[in-house]
Amino acid sequence: MKTFTSDISAAEFPISELVSLKVIRKSIFDTIQKEHPEITNSGKISISELNYYREKYIAGYLLKEMGQLSDLENTVLNSLKDHSTLSDKIDGEENHEFTTGQKIADKVASFGGSWTFIIIFGAILFVWILLNAVFLANKGFDPYPFILMNLILSCIAAIQAPVIMMSQKRQEEKDRGRSKNDYMVNLKAEIEIRMLHEKMDHLIMKQQQELFEIQKVQIDMMNDILSRLEKSKSQ
């Protein structure tokens, strides 16, 4: 198998991975020159090395734009380096262990905000009032104005309000987590689109260079043929 030696790492790579520094973007070339000032555009590197400097350029661009990379940006860059999907790095809700209090808060808020709770609670109040005011002739365990019932309702409201607030806080945490996940996915998509443009530009420039070389060979061949024809005519 034919190989070539990289001018950056001095390592050998298959000839199929050869990339001339003439055909890469100036921004990427400048990034390479910062680490290797001796390198010129006549040098050659491998595809894997080119991808490394592309990722390094993108990381530098993000750092320049945002001032400091957060854990989210680092997670996205690591997923690009590892060639893995973000779903491998994002902690999903199904894998997160909730505390007993959080589970109870979610269930209480889910039941307390449903028509089932409203209908059942309304039926209990109706039976309570009907039993004390009608059947027991207002001489039952809670006569009018139903002081015991008002006390129970006040206690339920006092307990239910903070539980619902706890559930709302949990929902806000879920929404923030989804927003972070969406941000990371969108950021990775934008970076990969940029890298795709880089690769397409590289392929186009390489193809143009190869076509130019082919044209030069064809011109040389035609010149040889013309010179032979001239020689044969002169003879």
Specify whether 106 is located in the same domain as 166. Answer: yes
Same-domain pairing of 114 and 177: yes
Same domain, 101 and 55: no
* Residue 75 and residue 184 in contact, taking contact as beta carbons nearer than 8 Å: yes
More confident residue, 127 or 63: 127
Residue 123's pLDDT is 92
Domain boundaries, position 55? 1-69
| Residues 60 and 102 grouped into a single domain | no
Q: Which two tokens stand for residue 128?
A: 């309570």
pLDDT digits (tens, 9 = 90+) for 175-228: 887 787 787 777 777 777 777 776 677 667 667 766 776 677 667 667 767 777
Q: How many domains does the chain have?
A: 2
Would 226 be classed as within a structural domain? no
Q: Is 145 a member of any domain? A: yes
CA dist 6 and 46 (Å) reads: 7
Residue 76 has pLDDT above 60, yes or no: yes
Q: What pLDDT digit, counting tens, does each position of 30-61 carry? A: 888 888 888 887 888 888 888 778 777 776 76
Residues 35, 102, single domain; the answer is no
Q: Of 181, 204, 229, which closes a domain? A: 181
Residue 94: predicted pLDDT: 47
Q: Tell me, yes or no, whether 198 lies in a domain.
A: no
| Shared domain check, 116 and 45 | no
Same domain? For 98 and 28 the reply is no
In this structure, is residue 207 part of a structural domain? no
What average pLDDT does range 154-164 have in this prediction? 83
Specify the pLDDT at position 23: 75
Establish if 65 belongs to a structural domain.
Answer: yes
Q: Which of 165, 181, 197 is at the close of a domain?
A: 181
Q: Does 31 share its domain with 101?
A: no
Could you tell me if 56 and 100 lie in one domain?
A: no
In a domain, 21, yes or no: yes
- Nearest-CA neighbor of 15 among 24, 23, 7, 6? 6
100 and 146 in a single domain? The answer is: yes
Does residue 119 sit in the same domain as residue 63?
no
200 located within any domain: no
Q: Identify the CA nearest to 102 among candidates 174, 176, 153, 156.
A: 174
Say which residues have a Cβ less than 8 Å from residue 163's Cβ, sequence separation at least 6.
104, 105, 108, 109, 112
pLDDT digits (tens, 9 = 90+) for 85-101: 555 555 544 455 677 87
Instruction: Quick: pLDDT tens for 105-156.
Output: 778 777 877 888 889 988 999 998 888 887 777 777 888 888 888 898 888 8
In a domain? residue 163: yes
Give the alpha-carbon dihedral of 180, 182, 184, 189, to 10 degrees: -170
| H and E: helices and strands count for the chain | 6, 4
Select from 45, 16, 47 the least CA-distant residue to 33: 45
**Structure token digits, residue 161:** 């309000």
Q: Are residues 101 and 167 in the same domain?
A: yes
Q: At a CB cut-off of 8 Å and minimum separation 6, what does 168 contact?
A: 109
